């Protein structure tokens, strides 16, 4: 009988009270993040700051490749590719991406940053390195009829520093950068 009472108490505490309390605190202290960090314009959800979006239009900055099953950036199936660095399949995928990137910007002779060739561990990463964003500046500027210097300045304005000054690497949120680009 004691075990059953303990099961009931722990189920109520851990399964109901604790999740409700944490959800309430999150809604009060961090409502934007607790609701998915959604970007809303004119009452329409455009995406989340936390999940990348697949883009192939050359007028936009492209995110990292996604390795999620079924379709790119599948939020319900977050996963990396689990392919070894020595995998011929991974090498083939990287080489295909390299060819595609070079074909989209034939005059660009700078080395392609690794994050434009490989997927993140989650397959959902909305960020790229500042180098990856700057690598794409000439293509985006050419297809939009903009000055590359202005586009590069926009990229530099949207570089997010390391969290707390020490965690992670500087990064650029591709969705936010593309939205700012559209606003110009």
Q: Given a cut of 90, is residue 158 above it in pLDDT?
A: yes
- The pTM assigned to this predicted structure is 0.81
Residue percentage of the chain with pLDDT more than 70:
100
Q: Which of 4-18, 42-56, 153-167 has the lowest mean pLDDT?
A: 42-56
Say if CB 54 and CB 72 are below 8 A apart.
yes
Average of per-residue pLDDT across 89-117: 93
pLDDT given at position 161:
95
Average predicted confidence (pLDDT) for the chain? 91
Q: Given a cut of 90, is residue 124 above it in pLDDT?
A: no
Sequence spans of domains, the chain: 1-35, 38-183
Q: Which of 4-13, 60-69, 72-81 has the lowest mean pLDDT?
A: 72-81
Taking CA atoms, 62 is separated from 6, 10, 33, 37, 103, in Å, by 53, 47, 24, 20, 14
Which is it for the CA torsion 136, 170, 110, 125, positive or negative? negative
The DSSP-derived string for 75-127 is: TTS-------TT-HHHHHHHHHHHHHHHHHSTT--SPPPGGGTS--SSS---E
Q: Given a cut of 90, is residue 56 above it in pLDDT?
A: no
Backbone angles phi, psi at 47, to 5 degrees: 160, -170
Q: Given a cut of 80, is residue 179 above it in pLDDT?
A: yes
Residue 158 DSSP symbol: T
Q: 42 pLDDT band (50/70/90 cuts)?
A: confident
Residue 73 structure tokens: 């950036």
């Amino acid at each position: 009988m004691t075990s059953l009472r303990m099961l009931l108490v722990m189920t109520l505490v851990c399964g109901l009270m604790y999740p409700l309390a944490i959800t309430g605190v999150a809604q009060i202290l961090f409502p934007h993040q607790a609701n998915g960090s959604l970007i809303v314009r004119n009452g329409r959800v455009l995406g989340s700051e936390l999940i990348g979006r697949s883009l192939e239009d050359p007028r936009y900055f492209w995110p990292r490749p996604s390795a999620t099953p079924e379709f790119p950036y599948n939020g319900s199936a977050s996963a990396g590719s689990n392919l070894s660095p020595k995998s011929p399949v991974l090498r083939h995928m990287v080489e295909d991406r390299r060819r595609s990137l070079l074909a989209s910007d034939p005059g660009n002779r700078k080395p392609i940053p690794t994050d434009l060739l490989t997927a993140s561990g989650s397959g959902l990463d909305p960020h790229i390195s500042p180098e990856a964003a700057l690598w794409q500046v000439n293509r985006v500027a050419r297809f939009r009829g903009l000055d590359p210097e202005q586009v590069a300045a926009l990229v530099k304005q949207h570089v997010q520093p390391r969290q707390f000054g020490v965690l992670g690497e500087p990064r650029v949120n591709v969705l936010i950068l593309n939205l700012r680009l559209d606003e110009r």
